């Protein structure tokens, strides 16, 4: 049981380049999410999904796209990278996404992205 895996671990991009951050979980979790973590800002939610085919925006969605074609995978796409997207990106999953309740989220190890 690998939990939540993320690839790559590190990435350097030039402004304007695009890339996809991969996230996969093997716990059969319905809920998956992407956060970015910046110094002095805490974790901020980018996008989330409550199941295959269902996604929604979080607090800071601009410049990012997501899709969820399977329960296991939830890739995050940067369409045209900007220096402001330099950050550490975490994917997380949880068993359920019950309205009115929180559920334990399991985080991946993160992807450290630098945009020059």
Partner 1 sequence: QKEVEQDPGPLSVPEGAIVSLNCTYSNSAFQYFMWYRQYSRKGPELLMYTYSSGNKEDGRFTAQVDKSSKYISLFIRDSQPSDSATYLCAMSQPGSGNEKLTFGTGTRLTIIP
Q: Residue 74 Cβ, how far from partner 1 at the closest point, in Å?
A: 14
Tokens 């996969």 correspond to 24
3-state helix, strand, coil in the chain (%, to 5): 5, 50, 45
Classify 56 as helix, strand or coil. Answer: strand
- Residue whose CB is less far from partner 1, 15 or 56: 56
Q: Residue 49 Cβ, how far from partner 1 at the closest point, in Å?
A: 10
Residues contributing to the site for partner 1 (CB under 8 A)? 4, 31, 33, 40-45, 48, 56, 58, 90, 92, 94, 97-110
- Residue whose CB is less far from partner 1, 14 or 104: 104
Neighbours of 6 (CB within 10 A): 20
CB half-sphere exposure, 79, CA atoms < 13 A: 6
- Residue whose CB is less far from partner 1, 14 or 39: 39
């Amino acid at each position: 049981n690998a939990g939540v895996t993320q690839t790559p671990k590190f990435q350097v991009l030039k402004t304007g380049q695009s890339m996809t951050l991969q996230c996969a979980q093997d716990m059969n979790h319905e809920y998956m999410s992407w956060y970015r973590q910046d110094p002095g800002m805490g974790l901020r939610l980018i996008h989330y999904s409550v199941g295959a085919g269902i996604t929604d925006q979080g607090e800071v969605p601009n410049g990012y796209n997501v899709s969820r074609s399977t329960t296991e995978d939830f890739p995050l796409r940067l369409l045209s990278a900007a220096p402001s997207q330099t950050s550490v990106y975490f994917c997380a999953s949880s068993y359920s996404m019950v309205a009115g309740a929180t559920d334990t989220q399991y985080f991946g190890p993160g992807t450290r992205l630098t945009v020059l």
